[in-house]
Structure 1
Amino acid sequence: MFLILTLALLPLGLIALVASLQAIRTTDLEKEALLRVAVTQSARQLSADLASDRTALMLTANTFAATGPDPAMCARLSAFLAAHDRGDGRYYIYDRHGRRLCGSPLPEPEGLTPAQRFSGQTVQLLPAAQFLVNRAQSGNGAVVALAYYSRSYLEMMANPSGALQNRRISLHQGQDSLLISHPATLSHGRSTTLSARLDPPDMILTMSLRDPPVTLARMLSLFLPLVMWFAAAAIGWFVVNRLLIRPLVLLRRSVAAYQPGAVLEPMRRIRTPAQEIVALGNTFREISEDVATHEMEMAEGLETQRKLTREVHHRVKNNLQIIASLINLHARSAHDAEAVEAYATIQRRVDALSVVHRNHYAELEEHRGVGVRSLISELSASLRATAPAEARRFGIQIDSDNLHISQDVAVPIAFLLTELVELAMLSDPRAAMRISVQLEDEREDRAVLHITSPALRGSPEMTERLEERYGRVLTGLSRQLRAPLEHDPENGDYAIAITVLP
């Protein structure tokens, strides 16, 4: 496949070598680099000139604020600023009362009121007057020195050597902007624009340079790589689709339609010179044969295991029923009341274990665990059937969500319910009981089991029975459930958290 694709794209590769688009790109990059250097140097030059003039202005303002107006100092400032060949640049020094202490003979440009002379940025644009003002105040704020720069002088400061030709230069400060130069060649066509920050940083110098005009040769050079790319993509797609993609799509569909136990034969419908795809199809066929053989063996083993498990559960259930029958037989032959009660207690626990086993065996095929509602219902019916004569009317109300638990949880719960029901029947045979199992609000794998009955309220008799036997049994069962068994003696409520299956 690699050799075929290489030979198919070789003519287009030769055409691509002839193309010289890299030269055009290099030219554009050089132009942008030169423009970046120019705007950076101009910003530095303009910032340096403004900072130098501002230093002279501040020195003069501090001198005037300390000693008063000094004609000699004013003359030196005029000579320093004139040395820069500022053209029609202008400077003025004022005190807080609006009196001019020093300044050039030219009239001051409009744009600043007397109150605004002492406020605003250090360097400020005056778009209406087409000037830039450079401001310096004395240390005590009593005197301010202002220097105004016209557009022509700003153009000279931004381009001291005159090397920048046909470039549009402008200054921006917030919403204000001042156009310094705008050649007529930039009125039409596209241009490249770059910016650089001055000192102060809130002022930006922007420079634009017109892009070369679009000619026929440039358009052909520009679009030739696109035509070559499209042709190469079309030819490459045709070759790859016919020799690679279509065989892979057919192979994927054959694998997607695979059914367990079947044997894949994808290469019957696929014709391709790619030996890798042929080897992959043969590998799928071999894997499907192995999977079919193993699934047949696993199905036979699973059926055997299911039969063995069903037989074991059946025998365990029969053994539990035999044990319960033997206990019942011995209980009938007993004459002592304590012996009869002991046999009944044992029988109730065997019945509880038998109930758990029957429910687990019923849910075994679906692997859902033991149903909590059916377990409690069957267990309650069994306990009422084996209850003493005076407790045959002992009522049990069940309120449970549709929950399932594992056998490891079901056994201690069955014994716990048996102990508490028996304790309640002994304490008050005529009372009733409510058993509820509800999910916790914040967790889906935890539920709370509540056993509530007036017969389980705190009393001296209840305390004595708990200390004699029931307390130790209940504590052991709560440890098996790995949760504390909470008792509310006033309401006769026992509560414990249990783990449920999702």
Structure 2
Amino acid sequence: MFLILTLALLPLGLIALVASLQAIRTADLEKEALLRVAVTQSARKLTADLQSDRTALELTVNALAGPGGETSICQRLELFLTSHDRDGGRFYIYDRRGRRLCASSAPEPAGIAIDNRFDGTNAQLLPASQFLVSRVRSSDGALVGLAYYSRAHLESVADPATALQNRKLTLRQGNARMVISRPGSAPIEGNSSSLSARLDPPDIILTMTVRDPPATIARMLSLFLPLVMWFAAAAVGWFVVNRLLIRPLVLLRRSVAAYHPGEVLEPLQKVRTPAQEIVALGETFREISEDVATHEAEMAQGLETQRKLTREVHHRVKNNLQIIASLINLHARSAHDPEAVEAYASIQRRVDALSVVHRNHFAELEDNRGVGVRPLVSELSASLRGTAPAQARRFGIQIDADDLHISQDVAVPIAFLLTELVELAMMLDPDGAMQIAVRGVTGRDNRALLSVRSSGLRASEAMTIYLAERYGRVLTGLSRQLRAPLDHDAEAGGYTIEISVIP
């Protein structure tokens, strides 16, 4: 369809294109020729004006530099310059010592330092003061004459005879640039053209910028005809392409975007005339969605089976731990030796700690968040108080923990670490108490600080013996499992260790 439309509109398009290009080219050539004549004429007028004034200034400087120079020649120079400069013809003549020998009545514009009067080019732009200065030295180099030309005078001299609207005249000398057009003139907006011409001295360049001519009726018609042709072709092409391609593709994209795994796509049920390629693409999506739905059902069934197996494993582990605890309890009841009873109780506390970790891990298994620190420490503290020795029944445990979660690999050594420290504190100070705190480390989301403080954990001879015999090696091994040093504050009776948490 696009090929047929292109071949049908090709002759008209070529005719309109050739006519439009010819009209635009003719207008551009006329504009460029007019601009070239204008800028050349303005440059010649400025050069002629500067040369005539320069000649008069040179005669005056040489006359004053000669023996018995006449000062009356300054008056003749002022009359000459004033005759064609409405600003008064500013000129100033100095000797090497800086004395002003001759000058016009108007004050000298700023811009040339005293030490630079004899230096520099024959003509110099002063953008800051909006003047052009012409410099003439006497033949013997003893005097220098400076003639200043204001922006208004330069514009009046450079005004071309051709009627150019919205023109802009600019003088440029190296990096110095001075606009000599009227400050209040309208700025040139839109497209513009610029041409330059050199003045004498050749280091000053005059640039004329004019706005492109406004669009005429002929130009508008030549441009409008291709637009009408393009619009007609685009409208017909859009209708055909939208009906056969775009609308079916949009519906197909919406159906695919709204697709959820497990559904079967039927994206082209509401479209009557789609292209055959779109129909084939829709069928492909439907077949893919059927395969995905089948795989999703199989994966859901496999996941449910895996969940049941995991529950069964946890249930059996829980039963095994309960059986071990019951066996230890039965042996403890048949023991009569206090040391044996205490040994059984110590083993019982560690099995209970492992059981507490397992129960909390199983409780958080569905959410996959790890083991909650607060419920783990609370349940473990209750279990330790329940199995405490008879002399430590009043041993108190205070808990202050943030809402943090840890992995099972971290929960097991933490449970054993707390069990060891609580048991050690109960043996050293049965009537005391313990504070357990777990706080997140500021600025580190994956780290927390576990601190245990009790009066029984202060430095003493009995504590040194217990640590040397058993507890020291166990605490060191648990800190290695946690991959962090276990710090002991002997004076305050506290242990601190940094642990990893789940962000």
Give the TM-score category using the shorter length: 0.7 to 0.9
Give yes or no for contact 1:440–1:448 (8 Å, CA) kept in 2.
Answer: yes
1:331 counterpart = 2:332:
yes
Give the direction of change, closer, same or farther, for the CA distance of 1:209–1:450 in structure 2 (3 Å limit): same
Give yes or no for contact 2:265–2:285 (8 Å, CA) kept in 1.
Answer: yes
TM-score (normalizing by structure 2)? 0.76
Give 1:285's aligned residue: 286
Q: Distance in 1 between matches of 2:425 and 2:310?
A: 38
Aligned residues: 472
Q: Distance in 1 between matches of 2:46 and 2:343?
A: 107
Amino acid in the other structure paired with 1:376 = V
1:375 counterpart = 2:376:
yes
Give 2:125's aligned residue: 123
Amino acid in the other structure paired with 1:178 = I
Give the direction of change, closer, same or farther, for the CA distance of 1:393–1:191 in structure 2 (3 Å limit): closer
Give 1:426's aligned residue: 427
Give yes or no for contact 1:380–1:396 (8 Å, CA) kept in 2.
Answer: yes
Mean Cα deviation higher: 341-350 or 353-362: 341-350
- In structure 2, stretches of 5+ residues that fail to align are 118-123
Give yes or no for contact 1:369–1:406 (8 Å, CA) kept in 2.
Answer: yes
Give 1:192's aligned residue: 192
Give 2:147's aligned residue: 147
Secondary structure (helix, strand or coil) at the match of 1:494 reads strand
Equivalent position to 1:17, from 14, 19, 33: 14
Amino acid in the other structure paired with 1:343 = Y
Give 1:178's aligned residue: 180
Q: Distance in 2 between matches of 1:29 and 1:412?
A: 88
Give 1:444's aligned residue: 445
Give 1:132's aligned residue: 132
Give the direction of change, closer, same or farther, for the CA distance of 1:254–1:347 in structure 2 (3 Å limit): same
Equivalent position to 1:7, from 4, 8, 15: 4
Amino acid in the other structure paired with 2:455 = P
Give the direction of change, closer, same or farther, for the CA distance of 1:245–1:488 in structure 2 (3 Å limit): same
TM-score (normalizing by structure 1)? 0.76
Give yes or no for contact 2:265–2:286 (8 Å, CA) kept in 1.
Answer: yes
Give 1:183's aligned residue: none
Amino acid in the other structure paired with 1:245 = I
Q: Distance in 1 between matches of 2:355 and 2:10?
A: 83
1:52-106 deviations in whole A, cap 9, x for unaligned? 99x99xx99xx99xxx97328999xx9xxx9xxx996975422598854368xxx
Q: Distance in 2 between matches of 1:285 and 1:115?
A: 83
1:222-262 deviations in whole A, cap 9, x for unaligned? 33343344334333322222111211222233334444333
* CA drift at 1:407: 0.8
Q: Distance in 2 between matches of 1:98 and 1:39?
A: 41
* CA drift at 1:322: 0.7
Give yes or no for contact 1:49–1:157 (8 Å, CA) kept in 2.
Answer: no
Q: Distance in 2 between matches of 1:30 and 1:346?
A: 106
Secondary structure (helix, strand or coil) at the match of 1:209 reads strand
Q: Distance in 2 between matches of 1:485 and 1:240?
A: 74
Give yes or no for contact 1:39–1:205 (8 Å, CA) kept in 2.
Answer: no
Q: Distance in 1 between matches of 2:489 and 2:109?
A: 86
Q: Distance in 2 between matches of 1:170 and 1:178?
A: 6
Mean Cα deviation higher: 249-258 or 423-432: 249-258
Equivalent position to 2:106, from 110, 115, 137: 110
Amino acid in the other structure paired with 1:283 = T
* CA drift at 1:25: 5.1
Give yes or no for contact 1:244–1:274 (8 Å, CA) kept in 2.
Answer: yes
Q: Distance in 2 between matches of 1:240 and 1:431?
A: 86
Give the direction of change, closer, same or farther, for the CA distance of 1:497–1:8 in structure 2 (3 Å limit): farther
Secondary structure (helix, strand or coil) at the match of 2:180 reads strand
1:302 counterpart = 2:303:
yes
* CA drift at 1:389: 0.6
Mean Cα deviation higher: 91-100 or 273-282: 91-100
Give yes or no for contact 1:419–1:474 (8 Å, CA) kept in 2.
Answer: yes
Q: Distance in 2 between matches of 1:320 and 1:187?
A: 92
Give the direction of change, closer, same or farther, for the CA distance of 1:494–1:376 in structure 2 (3 Å limit): same
Identity %: 59
Secondary structure (helix, strand or coil) at the match of 1:134 reads strand
Q: Distance in 2 between matches of 1:40 and 1:425?
A: 106
1:274 counterpart = 2:270:
no
Give yes or no for contact 1:39–1:194 (8 Å, CA) kept in 2.
Answer: no
* CA drift at 1:469: 2.0
Summarize the alignment of residues 404-483 of structure 1 with structure 2, pairs less than 5 Å apart. 404-483=405-484
Give the direction of change, closer, same or farther, for the CA distance of 1:41–1:474 in structure 2 (3 Å limit): farther
Secondary structure (helix, strand or coil) at the match of 1:448 reads strand
Give the direction of change, closer, same or farther, for the CA distance of 1:29–1:448 in structure 2 (3 Å limit): farther
Give the direction of change, closer, same or farther, for the CA distance of 1:113–1:445 in structure 2 (3 Å limit): closer
CA RMSD of aligned residues (A): 5.1
* CA drift at 1:305: 1.3
Summarize the alignment of residues 218-367 of structure 1 with structure 2, pairs less than 5 Å apart. 218-367=219-368
Give yes or no for contact 1:92–1:146 (8 Å, CA) kept in 2.
Answer: yes
Give yes or no for contact 2:155–2:181 (8 Å, CA) kept in 1.
Answer: no
Secondary structure (helix, strand or coil) at the match of 1:399 reads strand
Give 1:70's aligned residue: 65
Secondary structure (helix, strand or coil) at the match of 2:252 reads helix
Give the direction of change, closer, same or farther, for the CA distance of 1:493–1:126 in structure 2 (3 Å limit): closer
Give yes or no for contact 1:195–1:204 (8 Å, CA) kept in 2.
Answer: no
Give yes or no for contact 2:46–2:158 (8 Å, CA) kept in 1.
Answer: no
Secondary structure (helix, strand or coil) at the match of 1:366 reads coil
Secondary structure (helix, strand or coil) at the match of 1:266 reads coil
Give 2:93's aligned residue: 93
Give yes or no for contact 1:46–1:198 (8 Å, CA) kept in 2.
Answer: no
Amino acid in the other structure paired with 2:15 = V
Give yes or no for contact 1:98–1:114 (8 Å, CA) kept in 2.
Answer: no
Q: Distance in 1 between matches of 2:412 and 2:306?
A: 24
Secondary structure (helix, strand or coil) at the match of 1:347 reads helix
1:141-161 deviations in whole A, cap 9, x for unaligned? x976412347899589979xx
Q: Distance in 2 between matches of 1:6 and 1:188?
A: 44
Amino acid in the other structure paired with 2:316 = R
Give 2:500's aligned residue: 499
1:403-448 deviations in whole A, cap 9, x for unaligned? 2211111111111111111111112111111112222221222222
Give the direction of change, closer, same or farther, for the CA distance of 1:261–1:334 in structure 2 (3 Å limit): same
Amino acid in the other structure paired with 1:123 = L
Amino acid in the other structure paired with 1:244 = L
Give yes or no for contact 1:88–1:150 (8 Å, CA) kept in 2.
Answer: no
Give yes or no for contact 1:9–1:236 (8 Å, CA) kept in 2.
Answer: no
